[in-house]
A and B are shown apart, each in its own frame.
Chain A
């Protein structure tokens, strides 16, 4: 059974940094892209970042480019989100999610598994 478990959230001041972790199990981690998706309080879902199976490619939403870095460690089956220069508007629940890999088309696709999320609060 697939499990995604996030950790590392908390309260941080504007301008501060935080590193989120997502521990995975139940699937072959090195065969899958991984993503972070966030949800501000009372708001909708916003995709944040993707990392390729081997970490060689990453993509970010414009609002976090240059501030957030997604990375992964295949030895620990984990994906991370380093968040620097945090802003009040980064306050959200951050979900780790796995894009389904479609072997027929050879591409990442929809999110088939999600973690429970970890809350990041940026406030002075």
Chain B
């Protein structure tokens, strides 16, 4: 199984400042035949189901603000919130769909200072 790890476990950022979350997979999730990274990012607020933010590691889902961006390839990925807003307080998860056995990272909690 592909194991996903995230860092940090939590971070506190001032409004308007940048938040950076890292995700690492135990093996590459880059599919060489189409040069796509099978990696997604989700946002989850308390009491709500997860919401898709980013897929193919860097493609923003429709309706997601452009302050959210994804980058990385192979085994190392990053979710960046360029200017943190109050409504971005949530837990963020990465997920690989390279393997038929999907796996999620443990999550990173983002809070406002």
Does the CB pair B100–A59 fall under 8 Å? yes
Does the CB pair B95–A110 fall under 8 Å? yes
How extensive is the interface on chain A, given as a class?
20 to 34
B50 at the interface (CB under 8 A from A): yes
B49's partner among A44, A50, A95 (CB-CB below 8 A) is: A95
Q: Which 7 A-B pairs give the minimum distances between C-beta atoms? A: A110-B40, A114-B49, A47-B102, A110-B55, A45-B104, A44-B107, A44-B106
A103 at the interface (CB under 8 A from B): no
A45's partner among B34, B50, B55, B61 (CB-CB below 8 A) is: B50
Within 8 A of B (CB), among A106-124: 108-112, 114-117
Does the CB pair B52–A47 fall under 8 Å? no
Number of interface residues of B (CB under 8 A): 25
Q: Chain A's interface: helix, strand, loop or mixed, by majority?
A: strand
Report which B residues bind A (CB closer than 8 A).
1, 34, 36, 38, 40, 42, 44, 49-52, 55, 61, 91, 93, 95, 97, 100-107
A64: min CB distance to chain B, Å? 12
Q: Which residues of A sit under 8 angstroms from B91, Cβ to Cβ? A: 44
Given contacts A105-B34, A109-B55, contact A117 B49 (CB under 8 A): yes
Does the CB pair A115–B55 fall under 8 Å? no
Q: Which residues of B sit under 8 angstroms from A104, Cβ to Cβ? A: 34
A112's partner among B38, B44, B52, B100 (CB-CB below 8 A) is: B52
Can you pick out 5 interface pairs between chain A and chain B where the beta carbons lie within 8 Å of each other?
Answer: A44-B107, A45-B44, A45-B93, A59-B101, A112-B52
B50's partner among A105, A109, A114 (CB-CB below 8 A) is: A114
A73 at the interface (CB under 8 A from B): no
Does the CB pair A110–B50 fall under 8 Å? no
Q: Which residues of A sit under 8 angstroms from B100, Cβ to Cβ? A: 50, 59
* Cα distance, A99 to B51, chains bound together (Å): 13
